[in-house]
Homo-oligomer: A and B are copies of this chain.
Amino acid sequence: MIRILVTPDPIDVATEVARVEVEGAGGIASFIGRVRADDGVSTLELEHYPGMTEAALEAVARTAAARWSLAAVTIVHRVGPMGPGERIVLVATAAAHRQAALDACAYCIDRLKTDAPFWKREVTPEGTRWVEVRAADAQRATDWA
């Protein structure tokens, strides 16, 4: 069971986690990325490539599902403007045992940072700026290969 959602709406954690709690799923791992409220950003804007984004997220999810025999995997990514503390992304993975769920969750969030066409722009008191890619993210994504 793979669920991919790219949406301008807030992410509902309870609903998304409950969705992956399918039969046989003894372990559920999840990750939520949020707009940090402590670095002067008043608004974060997420731009994406419609169509390619969903396909890229689905490819990440399918690869994880096959590699860790997942019972379910969900990736929800928000787009558009959002404020400090709001959720940008949620990954939830369900497997028979915990290590598969935990590893698959870490894999999905690492890979989507490099494999899915999203771009972040931060609005700060000093103006707006496009977020630069972090070298550590690229490295972490390739570490899974």
Binding site for B on A (CB under 8 A): 13-14, 17-18, 21, 23-38, 85, 96, 98-99, 101-102, 105-106, 109, 140
Contacts and interface: CB of A to CB of B under 8 A. Distances in A.
Given A14-B13, A99-B140, A105-B102, A34 B25 contact: yes
Nearest to A29: B31
A16 to B, nearest CB: 10
Given A13-B13, A102-B105, A109-B98, A31 B27 contact: yes
Given A13-B13, A38-B23, A30 B29 contact: yes
A98 B36 contact: no
A119 to B, nearest CB: 18
Interface residues of chain A: helix, strand, loop or mixed (majority)? mixed
Copy number in the complex reads 2
Contacts of A34: 21, 25-28
Contacts of A26: 33-36
12 contacts: A13-B13, A13-B18, A14-B14, A17-B32, A21-B34, A23-B37, A26-B35, A27-B31, A27-B32, A28-B34, A31-B98, A31-B102
A102 B109 CA distance: 10
A51 to B, nearest CB: 26
Contacts of A17: 13, 32
A85 B32 contact: no
Contacts of A35: 26
